[in-house]
Amino acid sequence: MTNPNPIVLRLLHASIVVLGLAILSGPVGPVRTAASAQLSGEINVRINEPIGVIDPKVYGHFTEETLSSYEGGVSSEMLFNRKFEIPEERDIEQIIFSGASAGWEPIAVDTNISLVQDTQVYFSPNRSQRITLSDPSDVPAGIQQDGYQFVMPHLSRKQRINHPFRFEPGERYLVRVACMSKNLNGAVHVAMGESYEKVVAKLSFNLSKDGGWRIYTGELKPQARVEKGKFLIYIDSPGTVWIDSVSLVRADLNEDGFRKDALELTKRITPTSIRWPGGWFVSDYHWNDGIGPIDERPARFNRTWNAYTTNDVGTDEFIALCRKLGAEPYISVNVGTGTPEEAAQWVEYCNGNRNTKMGRLRAQHGHPEPYNVKYWSVGNEEYLPTIGGTSGRQYGRNFNAFARAMRAVDPTIKLIAVGAFDIPAGVLLRTHPAWKIVRYIPDWNKGVLSEATGQIDYYSLHYYAPENVKGQSRQDIDQAAMVITEVMAGKLDRVQKQMEQYATGGRRYAIALDEWSLKIENEPAVADETIAGREISQLGLHIGALSQREALAEATIFNLIHRRPGDFVLGSRTLLYAYLVGLVAIRRDRAFATPVMLMTELYSTRSACQALKTEAISGTFSTKAMNPSFPEVKEAKYLDVSARLHPDGKSIDLFVVNRHLEQSIDCTVRFIGGTVEPASQAALLDAPLLARNTFDEPDRVRIERAQLQAEPSSVKYRFPAHSLVKLTFRLR
C-alpha cells in the first residue's frame, strides 16, 4: 500500500479478523484483559427486525444569508459590498469623510477628487458610488478594494478579514459594472494590479452620452503575478460618473453564479434538502427583494443579524442551486415583519401556474414551469427576541393565519411549525442573569400545540449543544461532546409528552430537526484556532472550526435518528457553507471538506432505508453537567451504533462511533436472522480528536477505505479510539 501515513497504518491495525462460523451463545460484555488492557465489546445487528423507514430528508442542510453561506461562501462573486449599500466606515472621532462605501477606499486623495455615497442617484436601491474629477490631475479619481478572505457583512469591521487579492497569469476574470455619466470626457477604467500605477489587466468603457444607466461587461486577464492585489475602478478625465452593482468573478470557478469547487464537494454528500433563507435572517427578509434582474435588486440591511445582503441569491437562484445538487428546497417564511398575504404570494410565485399573478411574474423572470416547493416552515425561533418574537399561544394563532393563506394557494404543501426544547423559567434564571431575553420559551410548546391544532404537518426543533462550557476542563468538554445524543433524546422525550398532552388527539408530530450541530462556547482556546492572528470567537462566528470531535459527536445524532426513524422526517444541519465553519469550508479561491462533511458523506443517501434493530454491549462512561440546560449523563455506552438496510434488500450499513477518547475496542459484530457475503467494505474516519482540515492542509482528516472478508454470521473489528467506522455488507 503506497503512502503509508499514520491514519492508513491505523486502518490496517483495525483490519478485519475472520471469526469462526460458530456463534457464541449469550451476550458478551466488555472485557479488559490484564495483559493488554484492551477493551472488548459486542454488536448485534438484527436483520430480521426492521424498526421503520428512515426518511432520507433527515440528511438535509441549513444555509443562512448573513452567515456567509452565500456571500463570501458558495456565491462566485468576489467583491464585498458590490452595490455600495453599506455606509462608509468611520471611527466616532473621525470627522473627515473619505466618501468611499464600506470595504472600498479612495485610490488617491487630491483636491480635484470628490467621492460620495449617493442616495439620490442609483442603479440598484438605495445607493451608488459617485466619483468626480473636477480638473485634469496627475492621479485618477476612483475607488479600490483589497479583497477579503472571510466576510460576514455586519456593521463591524471585526467581521471581516482583509486578504489581498492574488492574481495569476492565465486566469480570466469576468467583470460587470453599471455606470452612468452626463459629462465625463473620457472612459471609465476597471483594472487589477498592485496599484493604479502597477496595473496587470485593464478594461476601459466609453459610456453612453444619453445620461442613462448601462451595464458594461468585459474580461480581465492578468499579464503578471500580483501577490497583494487590488481591484480598481477610476476615471482619469474630468467629469462625474456613478458606479453601481460591480461584479468580479473568476471564470474557472464560476458555474451560473456558484462556486464550481464547492458544488463538486457538496455533491459528495448527496444533500436531500436545503433550508433557506434563514434562520434569524428570515424575520426581516422580504422575498420580493430577491427576484428580477440581479443587478437591479436592492441591497438591504437585515435588522435581526445587524447585517447587509445584496439579495443576489433569491428564490430563483436558490431553486437553481437545489436543482444542481438534487436537493429538495425547504423555504422559511417571514413571520417577524411579514404577513400571511406575503407568504401566500411567495407560495404562488414558487408553485403557481402561469395563469396566476405570481406565476406570470416567475415566467417573466425566465422560469415558466412551477417549482413545486413542498416544504415550508412558518417562521424561525419565534420564541427568541428576534423581530416578532412572541408567546407560544400567539405564535400558534399566527401559524393558523399563515397556514390558511398559504394552503389557499397550494393545499399540497407541508407546513412546519416552530417548536422548542422547553427550558423552565427556573433554569433560565440560573442560566441567564437577564433571562427575560428568552422570556417566551417557558410553556412554548403548550401554547403552540393548543392553538395550532389541525394545521401542523411537522414540528421544528433546533438543537445546539452543549453551548456554554465556561470553567470546564478540556477533558470534561470533550466527553460531554460525545453524549449530545443522550441529552437530546431526553429533551425529545419531554417534547413528545407535551404533544400527547396538548395536541389534538395527543398526536405525535414528526420532527423537523432543521437546525442542529455540536456547539461549544467559551471553551479553552485550541492552539491553532485563530484566523489571521485573531481568535475565531472574536469574529462572531456561529460555531467553532470543525474538527474530528464535531464529526463524531454529530455522527451520534444520525445514529439516534436511525434508531428512532418514526420520530424524524427532516433534518438541516448547520451550516452547509461558510468560511471554516461550514461543512464545505470556503474562501475566495479554495474550498475543502471538513471532518463533519466527511462524516456526512458516509451517512447521507437519497434511498429510503429500513432501520434495523441493533444492540451494543460495551463499557460505559459518565459525564459532568456543562450548564443547567446540559445535564450530566450516566453510563453512556462507549460504542454508539445504528444499522440500515437499503431498498435493494441486500446492502447493510453499520455505523459505529467509538466514543472512548483513549482506547480502541475489539468488537464482535453478529448478524442475527441472516447471513452476509464474504466481500465487505470498511470506511474509517480516524484522526486526533481536535484535528481539523485547513486551506493549507485540506486532507489532514480524511476517509480511509479498505476491503474486508467477513464470515457468514459474524465478523471481528477493532474500532480505534475516537473514530467513526462504516461497515458495509451484502446479504446472501
pLDDT in tens, 245-269: 999 999 999 999 999 999 999 999 9
* 4 or 601, greater pLDDT: 601
Q: What is the pLDDT of residue 17?
A: 34
Angle made by CA atoms 622, 625, 628, in degrees to the nearest 5: 150
Q: Is the pLDDT of residue 239 over 60?
A: yes
Rounded CA separation 139/196 (Å)? 9
Angle made by CA atoms 61, 62, 65, in degrees to the nearest 5: 145
- Is the dihedral angle over the CA atoms 163, 318, 385, 381 positive or is it negative? negative
CATH of segment(s) 6-52+611-730: 2.60.40.1180
Q: Is the pLDDT of residue 95 over 80?
A: no
Contact predicate 204/147, CB 8 Å: no
Q: Is the pLDDT of residue 566 over 80?
A: yes
Nearest residue to 575 (alpha-carbon basis) of 557, 603, 589, 596: 596
Reported as a single tens digit per residue, the pLDDT across 599-657 is 999 999 999 999 999 999 999 999 999 998 899 999 999 999 999 999 999 999 999 99
- Between the alpha carbon of residue 228 and those of residues 199, 222, 383, the distances in Å are 12, 13, 46
Rounded CA separation 342/675 (Å)? 56
Reported as a single tens digit per residue, the pLDDT across 186-235 is 999 999 999 999 999 999 999 988 889 999 999 999 999 999 999 999 99
Residue 335's pLDDT band, with cuts at 50, 70 and 90, is very high
Amino acid identity, residue 233?
Answer: I
- Which residues pair with residue 378 across a beta bridge? 333
Average pLDDT over every residue of 340-352: 98
Rounded CA separation 469/625 (Å)? 9
Rounded CA separation 172/168 (Å)? 9
Amino acid identity, residue 657?
Answer: V
- Within 8 A by CB and 6+ apart from 473, the residues are 524
Inter-helix orientation angle 444-451/484-502, to 10°: 40
Portions of the chain given CATH number 2.60.40.1180:
6-52+611-730
* Residue for grid cell 491495525: 13
- Parallel/antiparallel/unpaired status of strands 714-719 and 665-672: antiparallel
Q: Which helix (H) or strand (E) holds 149?
A: strand 148-151
**Burial profile 84-121: b = 16 or more Cβ within 10 angstroms, e = fewer:** bbbebbeeeeeeeeebbbbbbbbbbebeebebbbbeee
Return the CATH superfamily for domain 105-253: Galactose-binding domain-like (2.60.120.260)
**57-62+254-608 CATH pick, 1.10.150.20, 3.30.70.260, 3.20.20.80, 3.50.30.40:** 3.20.20.80
Portions of the chain given CATH number 3.20.20.80:
57-62+254-608
Rounded CA separation 186/193 (Å)? 21
C-alpha cell read off for 142? 476612483
Q: Is the pLDDT of residue 676 over 70?
A: yes
Rounded CA separation 595/684 (Å)? 12
Portions of the chain given CATH number 2.60.120.260:
105-253
Q: What is the pLDDT of residue 321?
A: 98
Rounded CA separation 233/131 (Å)? 10
Contact predicate 284/273, CB 8 Å: no
DSSP 288-310: GGG-S-GGGSPPEEETTTTEEE-
Q: Is the pLDDT of residue 18 over 70?
A: no
Contact predicate 39/32, CB 8 Å: yes
User: In the chain, pLDDT over 70 holds for what percent of residues?
Assistant: 88
Nearest residue to 176 (alpha-carbon basis) of 229, 244, 128: 244
Q: What is the pLDDT of residue 425?
A: 53
Contact predicate 265/220, CB 8 Å: no
Q: Which helix (H) or strand (E) holds 8?
A: helix 6-13
DSSP 47: E
Q: What is the reported pTM?
A: 0.93
Q: What is the pLDDT of residue 42?
A: 98
Residue 43's pLDDT band, with cuts at 50, 70 and 90, is very high
C-alpha cell read off for 315? 428564490
Q: What is the pLDDT of residue 210?
A: 87
